[in-house]
Structure 1
Amino acid sequence: MSKFIPNSTAKPYYTAEEIQVWLVSHIAELLKVNPDEISITEPLDSYGLDSVQGMLLAAQTGKLLGFQLSPLVLWHYPTIELLSQRLAEELQASESETFEI
């Protein structure tokens, strides 16, 4: 998974599919479940993510992608599929350092 380590000299770019893989792996790790138990089309709240885990996930995802990510994004894009598509669009379209909803 070394391709997910951001290059400090350039803003990283990931496809929606790469972000999905990373999110599935990370959510499974947070919840201490097998990644096979995580569906990209199920609402994140169906997995019982609490607010602390949501904040941690947003912070770690933002660090990966190179911009600040509000935990509220998890409610605006409630599935891994929707979230990863939106994040990939943001990476492609924005030069800003802050993710705005």
Structure 2
Amino acid sequence: MPVVTAVEAQQWLIEKIAHWLSVPSEDVPPETYFDELDLDSTEALILAGEMENWLGFELGTTTLWYHPSIKDLAEYIAEESAARAGENHAASA
């Protein structure tokens, strides 16, 4: 599984959120907090599910609570992706 960088995760999140909100990607700054977005709980769950499918691993239920902005979540995803890739590499060595 390839490592996802913070830039890749941030871009993915921005594109998905922009699509949900029907706005251009440029209108979704990385500093945006998730509670500022007009996503209802169903949309947030769908977004989280799509993100988990894209990443290939589950995010904890409190992930958005502890990483409340697009930028914060993207950095967390990059760290988690790198850690998981390291675990997989060590297991296959």
Confirm or deny a common fold (TM above 0.5).
yes
The equivalent residue for 1:88 is 78
Partner Cα distance (1:25, 1:31) in 2: 10
**Structure 1 segments unaligned to the other structure (5+ residues):** 1-10, 97-101
Q: Which has the higher helix share?
A: 2
Contact 1:12–1:66 (8 Å) recurs in 2: no
TM superposition outliers: structure 1 runs of 4+ over 6 Å:
none
The equivalent residue for 2:3 is 13
Partner Cα distance (1:24, 1:71) in 2: 20
After TM superposition, the score normalised by the length of structure 2 is 0.83
Query: How many residues are paired up?
Result: 86
Report the residue type matching 2:56 in the other structure: G
**Structure 2 segments unaligned to the other structure (5+ residues):** 89-93
Partner Cα distance (1:24, 1:31) in 2: 10
How far does residue 14 in structure 1 lie from its aligned partner after superposition? Answer: 1.4
- Give RMSD over aligned pairs: 1.5
How far does residue 71 in structure 1 lie from its aligned partner after superposition? Answer: 4.9
How far does residue 70 in structure 1 lie from its aligned partner after superposition? Answer: 3.9
- Distance change in 2, residues 1:52/1:19 (3 Å): same
After TM superposition, the score normalised by the length of structure 1 is 0.77
| 2:30 equivalent to 1:40 | yes
> Larger Cα Rg: Structure 1 or Structure 2?
2
Picking from 79, 85, 90, the partner of 2:69 is 79
